[in-house]
């Protein structure tokens, strides 16, 4: 607790603004990813080499199937138009392309030929300068949809989106608006199927001129220049609308064929012009309005932003993956080495008595089990229960037990740090064990915990806190976190001589070290972390003794868990900020600062902040990428985590049965933990003060039974 009454009078306004900011950011992120996924990875957009199969033709009017390649929508009746004799409209699909479109334009300029380019919206966004060059050099622009989607297979809302967005993009990029449309995968009028006619009719209602072809160069087959020329040469004097491509892969054969075809046909008297002039209709392309231009620029900006967002998220994903692998490897290697070094007993046996300080505030549910487990220790102990102004009769309950060697000190509610300092001042012995009022000790826990003090350089020892109420999914998840997360980290910190936290549930200290450090500070909500860091900076070595076990009561609901972890995380951030100066110090303080604070910043702050990126990409991949590949990667991730967990459980001699819930942990518990970190960081950045949030106790733990 912090400052009792002062904490209650401190500003405690719920920090809701950060959730609003997070929600807005999340909505923007989802919108950006949906836009990027739609434009780059939408299912159903096949290349021209794989046109969809058409089988039904019964609903197509004869005026269409036997009419010209240009379908006019500017009237109540269906009208079509055919190219004039000895005229050829070169029509280029799928561009613009940064390599082949400039070569095509150079070729057309050389031979004084005009053409019509049916551009794809996303390609226009990527190559706006090329689009403007097409228009500036007198060529005609038409639409080839937004993402090269098959209009025949789309619902009306997507048809509208494909046409409207490609139109806006063209207005923003080149300043023009065009009614010319070539549906992807279309060909000649006689090949129009029922599905195609559905798309054409919808486009007619929006005012578009659908431009089909009369001759296909088949350059998309890439069968050589001669084959392209053979497919492109007109027969007789009839005019043609010739389909070629300036994008969609290597178009060197197309460029080479056109370099032969254009001068050859011009020599025969053919004229190359735009679609509208070839079929004899008024120029349909007009300048875009001011509003169309700005809406188009807005759409282009949104697509560019979505690309940037995905690029940033990709690098963040790599960073999160790298940090996860580094942490897993480092903790496993350290745990293996630590288990070998601690396999034997400490060389000097410690037999001196110990003072156990138990700060208690409204702990009547579990205080009896905690006190009885302490006095049942196989090591001489003095137990001091400091009642911090409890209102539930905690002190009266302890006194009524009448257990020799147990003292009760009553004080006005002042907070946990003050209660601990009261107990430290009243301690009769040099070795002091601090324990929470909801924790039950194993009979040998105190004796095992104090054995490292045979080394005079050790100032504190962290014990092994176990989740006692591990029944139920939430209890199992916390049990896994204690064993895999906390305990593996402590082994690593022990080897690195940079232990940041001796847990309040089970920890031992030299009284002289505590007094030299000024006792337990009230500056942070994580008084145990703050105290441990102060001892490390003072030059004391702090170790982890995994054989000293205590059982603690974990939160039984997500709400209680949230409040507990929020306090832990926020308090840890406070302690890190308070002791940040250690990073630039020399000696033990500098070693602690650079190692411990660096680890905490990278793996307990930065990595949880990056963790949502993994989930975001998983959902993105399931929707827009290969879901099988995403699932395989997820299974690999869970398998690696499972192997690490199995090793951690083996080190702690725990049953592996709870690990069946590990995959489920990825969908609730992990998200809760990184949301806790996010809220803690926002709270810290906002400068808000967080009150002490005490967890409800249920007295679910019992005194361990001695087996010796």
The catalytic residue positions are 93, 245
Which positions ≥6 away from 285 have C-beta within 8 Å?
A: 140, 141, 176, 177, 178, 179, 180, 276
CA geometry: angle 53, 56, 61, nearest 5 deg? 125
From CA 508, how far away is CA 379, in angstroms rounded?
14
From CA 41, how far away is CA 46, in angstroms rounded?
11
Judge whether 449 and 383 are in contact, CB under 8 Å. no
Alpha-helical segments (H) within 507-626: 511-516, 527-537, 558-578, 587-592, 598-599, 607-624
Look at the block and give the residue holding tokens 């959902």.
619
How many CB atoms sit inside 10 A of residue 637's CB? 15
Kindly write down the DSSP assignment for every residue of 241-274, as one continuous string.
Answer: EEEEESSSS--HHHHHHHHHHHHHHHHTT-EE--
454: three-class secondary structure by DSSP: helix
Which positions ≥6 away from 327 have C-beta within 8 Å?
A: 603, 607
What's the farthest any 2 CA atoms get from each other in the chain? 118
Nearest partner of 362 among 452, 438, 271, judged by Cα? 438
Strand pairing category for 458-467 and 507-510:
antiparallel
Dihedral of CA 362/366/372/377: which sign? negative
From CA 697, how far away is CA 361, in angstroms rounded?
11
From CA 383, how far away is CA 355, in angstroms rounded?
6
Look at the block and give the residue holding tokens 């579990």.
366
Alpha-helical segments (H) within 431-586: 445-450, 473-480, 487-496, 511-516, 527-537, 558-578
- Which two three-digit tokens encode residue 480? 């896994």
From CA 439, how far away is CA 441, in angstroms rounded?
7
Judge whether 43 and 150 are in contact, CB under 8 Å. no
Strand pairing category for 286-287 and 271-272:
unpaired
From CA 288, how far away is CA 484, in angstroms rounded?
62
From CA 92, how far away is CA 368, in angstroms rounded?
85
Within a 13 Å sphere around the CA of 260, how many CA atoms are in the beta-carbon half?
Answer: 13
Distances (CA, A) of 666 to 46, 57, 235, 612: 35, 51, 66, 11
For 289-327, b/e burial (b = at least 16 CB within 10 A) is eeebbebbbebbebbeebbebbeebeebbeebbebbeeb
Helix or strand holding residue 39 (H, E): helix 17-41
Judge whether 509 and 503 are in contact, CB under 8 Å. no
From CA 354, how far away is CA 508, in angstroms rounded?
9
Burial class (CB in 10 A: 0-12, 13-18, 19+), 609: middle
Nearest partner of 38 among 202, 154, 130, 196, judged by Cα? 154
């Amino acid at each position: 607790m912090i400052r009792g009454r002062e904490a209650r009078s401190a500003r405690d306004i719920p920090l809701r603004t950060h959730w609003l900011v997070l929600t807005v950011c999340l909505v923007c992120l989802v919108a950006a990813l949906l836009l990027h996924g739609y434009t780059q990875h939408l299912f159903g957009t096949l290349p021209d080499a794989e046109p969809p199969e058409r089988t039904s033709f019964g609903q197509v009017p004869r005026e269409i199937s036997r009419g010209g390649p240009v379908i006019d929508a500017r009237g109540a009746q269906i009208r079509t138009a055919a190219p004039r004799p000895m005229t050829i409209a070169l029509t280029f699909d799928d561009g613009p392309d940064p390599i082949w479109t400039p070569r095509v334009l150079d070729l057309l300029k050389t031979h004084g030929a005009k053409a019509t380019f049916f551009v794809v919206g996303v390609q226009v966004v990527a190559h706006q300068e090329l689009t403007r060059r097409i228009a500036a050099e007198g060529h005609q622009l038409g639409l080839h949809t937004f993402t090269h989607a098959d209009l025949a297979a789309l619902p009306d809302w997507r048809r509208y989106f494909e046409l409207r967005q490609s139109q806006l993009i063209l207005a923003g990029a080149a300043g023009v608006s065009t009614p010319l449309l070539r549906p992807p995968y279309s060909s000649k009028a006689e090949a129009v199927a029922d599905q195609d006619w559905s798309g054409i009719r919808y486009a007619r209602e929006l005012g578009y001129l659908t431009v089909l072809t009369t001759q296909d160069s088949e350059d998309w087959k890439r069968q050589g220049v001669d084959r392209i020329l053979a497919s492109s040469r007109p027969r007789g004097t009839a005019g043609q609308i010739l389909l070629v491509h300036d994008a969609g892969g290597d178009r060197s054969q197309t460029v080479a064929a056109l370099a032969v075809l254009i001068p050859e046909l011009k020599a025969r008297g053919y004229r190359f012009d735009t679609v509208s002039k070839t079929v004899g209709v008024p120029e349909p392309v007009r300048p875009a309005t001011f509003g169309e231009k700005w809406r188009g620029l807005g759409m282009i900006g949104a697509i560019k932003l979505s690309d940037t967002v995905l690029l940033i998220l990709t690098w963040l994903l790599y960073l999160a993956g790298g940090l996860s692998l580094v942490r897993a490897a480092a903790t496993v290697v350290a745990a293996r080495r630590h288990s070998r070094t601690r396999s034997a007993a400490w060389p000097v046996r410690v037999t001196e008595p110990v003072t156990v300080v138990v700060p208690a505030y409204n702990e009547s549910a579990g205080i009896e089990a905690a006190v009885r487990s302490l006095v049942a220790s196989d090591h001489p102990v003095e137990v001091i229960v400091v009642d911090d102004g409890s209102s539930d009769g905690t002190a009266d309950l302890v006194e009524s037990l009448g257990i020799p060697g147990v003292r009760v000190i009553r004080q006005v509610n002042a907070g946990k740090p003050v209660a601990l300092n009261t107990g430290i001042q009243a301690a009769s012995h040099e070795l002091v064990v601090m324990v929470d009022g909801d924790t039950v000790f194993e009979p040998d826990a105190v004796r095992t915990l104090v054995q490292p003090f045979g080394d005079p350089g050790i100032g504190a020892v962290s014990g092994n806190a176990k989740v006692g109420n591990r029944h139920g999914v939430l209890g199992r998840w916390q049990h896994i976190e204690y064993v895999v997360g906390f305990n593996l980290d402590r082994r690593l910190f022990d080897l690195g001589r940079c232990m940041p936290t001796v847990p309040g549930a089970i920890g031992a200290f030299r009284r002289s070290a505590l007094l030299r450090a000024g006792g337990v500070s009230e500056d942070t909500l994580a008084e145990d972390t703050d105290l441990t860091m102060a001892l490390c900076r003072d030059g004391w070595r702090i170790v982890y003794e995994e054989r000293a076990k205590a059982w603690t009561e974990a939160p039984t609901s997500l709400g209680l868990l949230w409040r507990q972890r929020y306090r832990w995380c926020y308090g840890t951030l406070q302690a890190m900020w308070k002791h940040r100066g250690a990073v630039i110090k020399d000696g033990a303080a500098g070693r602690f600062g650079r190692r411990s604070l660096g680890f905490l910043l990278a793996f307990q702050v930065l990595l949880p902040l990056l963790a949502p990126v993994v989930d975001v990409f998983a959902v993105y991949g399931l929707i827009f990428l290969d879901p099988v590949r995403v699932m395989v990667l997820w299974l690999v991730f869970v398998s690696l985590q499972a192997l690490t967990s199995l090793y951690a459980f083996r080190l702690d001699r725990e049953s592996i049965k709870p690990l069946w819930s590990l995959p489920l942990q990825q969908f609730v518990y992990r998200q809760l933990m990184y949301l806790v970190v996010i809220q803690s960081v926002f709270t810290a950045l906002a400068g808000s003060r967080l009150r002490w949030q005490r967890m409800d106790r249920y007295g679910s733990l019992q005194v361990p039974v001695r087996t010796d």
